[in-house]
Amino acid sequence: MDRIKRFFDVYVPVKSCNLKCHYCYVTEDAKSKMGDTAFEYTPEQIGRALAIERLGGKCLFHICGYGETLIPPEIAEIIKEILKQGHYVFVVTNGLISKRIDQILEFPQEYLTRLGFKFSFHYLELLRTNQLEKFTYNVSRVRTAGCSISVEVTPSDELEPYIDEMRRYSIEKFGALPHITVPRNGDDPSWPLLSKRSLQEFKDIWGQFESELFDFKLSTWGIKRKEYCYAGAWSGLLNIGNGELSRCYGGKYSQNILKDPTKPIIDLPIGNKCSMPHCVNSHIFLTLGDIQSINSYTYAQVRNRVCADGSEWLREPMKSFISGRLEDANEILTEKKKKLLAWKSFLLVLRYQLFKRLYTLLSRKIRLILEKNKLIPAPRYCCSFGSVIMRHIFKKAKKAPRYAKARIERCYYTLRYRFAKGSIYIKTESIETTIQKIIDEKVSVSRFGDGEFKWIEKLRHNSFQDVDEKLSERLLEVLRSESERHIVCISPAFSGLEYETEESKKYWRAVLGQYGKRWARHLDRSRVYFNANISRFYLNDINKALVNSRFLQLKKIWDGRDLLIVEGEMSRMGAGNDLFENARSIQRLIAPKRNAFSRYDAILEKAKRYGKEKLILIALGPTATVLAYDLAMSGYQAIDLGHVDIEYEWYLMGATKKVPVRWREVNEARTANEIPFTGPERVKYDSQIIDAVLL
């Protein structure tokens, strides 16, 4: 039988919720609107950092968000990685995010047996939003899938008239009465009962549910703990967003355990120095044994119910695992060792607090100096020491030459990328997998590089297309689309830079350091995107040995097919090379080389007219991204394939940097090509043009 080594109360940094319960602290704090959910580490990194070998054994992870836990798309993969390590997980949820539950229930059965759901039964809010049946259905299918469950009610004065109704419904649908928790008023530092009732009245009203959870929490309510507590050594609070592990709610010391999986975790028990008015979430910490002398209930007892048919909410091996106590798998300290750890704790906490205060004082002092000298506008800047200094350096160093300021900016954003890359990680398929999907399923393709994200954000940059409000809205619509006949491709830089050349790495580190978090908000982290580099795999890719085979695979897309190429005036895809030699026929629709989106409706109409029974290839900047999607929705196969011809020319030339290409305009090359487009190749090209939409 598995023994529990540690318990982690895991905080998910999500501020949003799909319900607005009248008693909830999220609603009270007016934070139920969509907030930022930042994960600085990838699910794989989190899994490695929480390996059994590092933690000393199998652990219990209790995962809960400030809002609804299952809203962040990343959470399913994070849960899976923790289960993959062999640990046990309990997830707190309102049970209404069906998409995330679907993802979780696809886990291997062995994972599901070590997974439990604590369903928060918000009866009044479920009635108000007409979602009671949805909640019940999700509870049922989670239980049927082999997971453990526990249904819990947060009691409130407004809920009292519905007690009998709720009892009947619970017995009928869940097989037993729900457990009852004890709500606290978080606005008061003493954390009193969140009810107008006296404690005795509250106990008499809600005691009729015969909940062990309720009985135990009330037995510890308002009692200052003075016994020796192993929290900080046997248990802790983990912010899964930034990796900070605190000893307890009142612990004044934290450490990052996700950043470096090879670094040992410092065990510092709270001991007799608990600063809280009473034990918060005592039903977990104390039933698991953080205080040895309190052993009236096990955690399994306050979570389980036996149903009328004899079945139980908790299944094996979860029931046996959380029936155990932390002391069964951990060292009991001698009095001498307790004193030594108390001194170590005192010194570490002192150093931590002094550094924290010094950091704050220095930050404020420097901020005030900069404000006084009018070097920074006071309202826009926080008092972060590093933020103020770095922004001041590269935004206010007016005497520095332009190249020096650009270099400082790049260094700053590159540094930011190193800290933020975990929070912007989005999984992308390989180039080969993406091309093969196009060949096999004949899907349409829209590609999103850094330029498309800049157009979404309406950021001006050097390109053939000006910022446009309508274009921004359409690009965002395409990015969020989920159609079986159309795929969305993004830069593989979101997954990592291991396949980029050094020059490309420098660029992407700076760009993602500056914009990465903003761009990642538009993406679904639970989704696997396809690879936008299907048309750009030569110059910036280190795998030069794969270039030839990739072009051969790419050419299979149009092998023996009739093509309609929609391109800008100076694109001239395939002119003078054999890129499309294996196509059966080629026709071209010419569009403006600049600001093509201003003629979008006319381009779309003519693409539909001439593109029937043809494969449509588009090289038209961000207009191509939208056009490919709209054509796909109208039953055509259209592929946004910008840059492919330029990359092919560079490959044939053996280029090592971005250089001009004959007969074409290359916005990324610093010098222009001046070779006139004449001769047989021009005649052949002109014969393929069937129409044009120009400014």
Segment 461-465 mean pLDDT: 81
Q: φ, ψ for residue 136 (rounded to 5)? A: -60, -40
pLDDT for the residue numbered 222: 83
Average pLDDT value for residue range 487-514: 92
> Per-residue pLDDT tens for 631-675?
999 999 999 999 999 999 999 999 999 999 999 887 776 555 668
pLDDT above 70 as % of the chain: 88
Residue 616: per-residue pLDDT: 98
pTM over 0.85, yes/no: no
- Are the beta carbons of 511 and 450 closer than 8 angstroms? yes
The pLDDT, as a whole number, for residue 374 is 52
In the predicted model, what is the mean pLDDT of residues 482-493? 95
pLDDT for residue 364? 64
Q: Return all residues near 640 (Cβ < 8 A) that are at least 6 apart.
A: 445, 446, 447, 618, 624, 625, 627, 628
Bridge partners of 149? Answer: 117
Q: Tokens 């470096």 — which residue?
A: 260
Q: Which letter, b or e, does each residue of 543-582 get, where b requires 16 or more Cβ atoms within 10 Å of its Cβ?
A: eeebbeebbebbbebbeebebbbbbbebbbbbbbeebbee
What CA–CA distance (Å, rounded) separates 277 from 656?
A: 67
pLDDT at position 394 is 47
In what side-by-side order are the strands of the sheet with 444-448?
530-531, 486-490, 444-448, 637-640, 615-619, 562-568, 585-591, 689-692
Q: Which amino acid is at 118?
A: K
- 13 prior amide bond cis, ω within 30: no
75-84 vs 98-105: helix axis angle to the nearest 10?
20
Query: Taking Cα atoms as reference points, which of 33, 32, 18 lies closest to residue 125?
Result: 18
Higher per-residue confidence, 632 vs 380: 632
For residue 184, the model assigns a pLDDT of 79
Burial track 171-207 (b if 16+ CB lie within 10 A, e otherwise): eeebbbbbbbbbbbeeeeeebebbbeeeeeebeebbe
pLDDT of residue 192: 78
What order of strands is seen across the sheet that includes strand 244-246?
Answer: 179-180, 148-153, 115-120, 88-93, 60-65, 7-12, 235-239, 244-246, 254-256
- Burial class (CB within 10 angstroms; exposed 0-12, middle 13-18, buried 19+) of 380: exposed
What's the rounded Cα separation, in Å, for the pair 309 and 429?
Answer: 47
Amino acid at 245: L
pLDDT band at 48, cuts 50/70/90?
very high
- Per-residue tokens: 182: 């004890």
